[in-house]
Amino acid sequence: MECKKVRDRLITDYVDKELGTEENTEVGRHLAACSGCREFSEAVQRSAVIPFKEAGEMQPDGVVWQRIQEKIETERARSGNWFGRLADAWVPLLRMPPPVFRVAFVTALILVVVVLAKWPSSYADPAYGYISEQMTFMGELRSGNADLMNGDLKDYDQMFEAIGG
Amino acid sequence: MQGTKSQSFRSKVSELGVKTMQEIEKELITKAGQGDMRAFREIYQRVSGYVYTLAYRVVNTKHDAEEVTQDVFLKIHRSLNSFKFEASFKTWLYRIAVNTALNHAKKRSRVTRREVEETFEDPATVTQPDAGKRLEAGETESQLKILLDQLNPDQRACIVLREIEGVDYQGIASSLGININTVRSRLKRARETLMVLGRKEVASHGM
């Protein structure tokens, strides 16, 4: 095994006991024969492993528990009223990271543009024209505009004559 | 594979810390999940040191470690009633702690020299009953702090989980949501940095 490859293993898998049996044996054999790699292995232990072995446990100040307790009580009070629940639902959206906001904004913008682009031409839309005409007619019926109604009735008279009615 | 790929996630914390972590009874967790504040406080008293220490190693300042500890326990409080007991409580806890710490660290700028000195002078950060041991522990903590300050938050999280929590590569990968090669690469970079620092110290002491 080359020294470069061995040192790569020494600083990662070998020191962390993640190597398979065969590779572990190969590295061990190389170390027995190579003083440079042995020194490297000792340096890994000295600088990057041993300093952590004596790490102790620390305790947080008493004020940390007080703050936790206060926040829990505040959350309980909020969850008891509808406004609090509503705010709790919306506030996370406001705290979304900027990239999400940007994506959401762009998506909304695209949707608006697409919808507007497909918006009528409705005046050329036959269905729209028919509905519009009928609504005008209904409006005239209510208004009692006899001329218009008579005009329409005349058309019907002609139609009946034509079909022999 | 050869070697001790321990699934027990042995910790380097004090004996008291290891014992208390193992003794979080299912009943206590269930009670706390149902809103029993006394049960939750009991859990806090037993594991806050563990969480705080883990957070401190990643964020590297007392103030930030306190904020992270608060966030972690609030998250735990909100999620306890849905804890399924599929993974161990400790595994669940350290995953929340390390990820919360990591997110926090990435938002913050590097520790200033003033904050390093403040923490260095604070003897209350390490619990050792004997004054002599306290001084020794304080020195160890300061040295650790200086070492960890050389690393970025991602490297710190990997080194802490590996060297202090004893988590294997697969465990680190799944805790942090990264792949094993990324774990390996971060550990390698972290150790190379620490070795360079070690060589500089040796050179400066003229050894």
**Per-residue model confidence (pLDDT) at position B122:** 45
d(CA A56, CA B127): 8
Is B58 in contact with B101 (CB distance < 8 Å)?
yes
Q: Which of A142-156, B4-18, B171-185 has the lowest average pLDDT?
A: B4-18
Distances in Å between the Cα of B99 and the Cα atoms of A37, B5, B14, B77, B119 are 35, 23, 23, 16, 23
Instruction: Say yes or no: A131 contacts chain B, CB-CB below 8 A.
Output: no
What is the model's pLDDT at position B104?
93
Q: What is the pLDDT of residue A129?
A: 67
Verify whether the Cβ–Cβ distance A18 to B198 is below 8 Å: no
Question: For the residues B137-159, what does the mean pLDDT come to?
Answer: 86
pLDDT in tens, A55-75: 888 999 999 999 999 999 988
Asked whether the beta carbons of residue A13 and residue B50 sit closer than 8 angstroms, the reply is no
Residue A97 in contact with partner chain B when CB distance is under 8 A: no
| Alpha-carbon gap: B80 to the closest alpha carbon of chain A (Å) | 13
A5 touches chain B (CB under 8 A): no
Under the banding of pLDDT at 50, 70 and 90, the label for residue A117 is confident
Q: Do B49 and A64 touch (CB under 8 A)?
A: no
Please name the member of A18, A55, A58 whose beta carbon is closest to the beta carbon of B52. A58
- Average predicted confidence (pLDDT) for chain B: 78
Residue B113: is its pLDDT beyond 60? no
Check residue A56 and give its pLDDT.
Answer: 85
Nearest-Cα distance to chain B for A61, in Å, is 8
Helical ranges in chain B per DSSP H: 15-22, 26-33, 37-59, 62-79, 89-107, 113-121, 131-149, 153-159, 169-176, 180-204
A62 touches chain B (CB under 8 A): no
CB contact under 8 A, A59 and B184: no
Tell whether A12 lies on the interface with B, counting CB pairs under 8 A.
yes
- Cβ of A60 and B190 within 8 Å? no
Q: For residue B73, what is the nearest residue in chain A, using CA coordinates?
A: A68
Q: Using 50, 70 and 90 to split pLDDT, how confident is the model at B2?
A: very low
pLDDT in tens, A93-110: 665 556 777 788 788 888
Nearest to A56 among B70, B74, B140 (CB): B140
pLDDT at residue A114, rounded to an integer = 84
The pLDDT value recorded for residue B131 is 46
8-state DSSP, A17: T
Distance CA A57, CA A64 (A): 16
Chain B residues with beta carbon closer than 8 angstroms to that of A59 = 48-49, 52, 125, 127
pLDDT of A10 strictly over 90: yes
pLDDT band at A18 (very low <50, low <70, confident <90, very high): very high
ipTM: 0.73
pLDDT digits (tens, 9 = 90+) for B158-182: 999 999 888 999 999 999 999 999 9
Mean pLDDT of B174-198: 94
B50 Cβ under 8 Å from any chain A Cβ: yes
Separation between Cα atoms, residue B162 and residue B11, nearest integer Å = 10
Contacts of B115 (CB under 8 A, 6+ apart): B61, B62, B63
Model confidence at B15, pLDDT cuts 50, 70, 90, reads: very low
pLDDT at residue B16 greater than cutoff 50: no
pLDDT at A111: 87
Instruction: Lowest mean pLDDT of A127-131, A159-163, B142-146, name the range.
Output: A159-163
Give the nearest partner residue to A64 out of B37, B50, B70, using CB atoms.
Answer: B70
Over residues B6-31, the mean pLDDT reads: 55
Q: Are B198 and A67 within 8 A, CB to CB?
A: no
% of residues, chain B, pLDDT over 90? 46
pLDDT value of residue B202: 67
Nearest CA in chain B to A59: B49
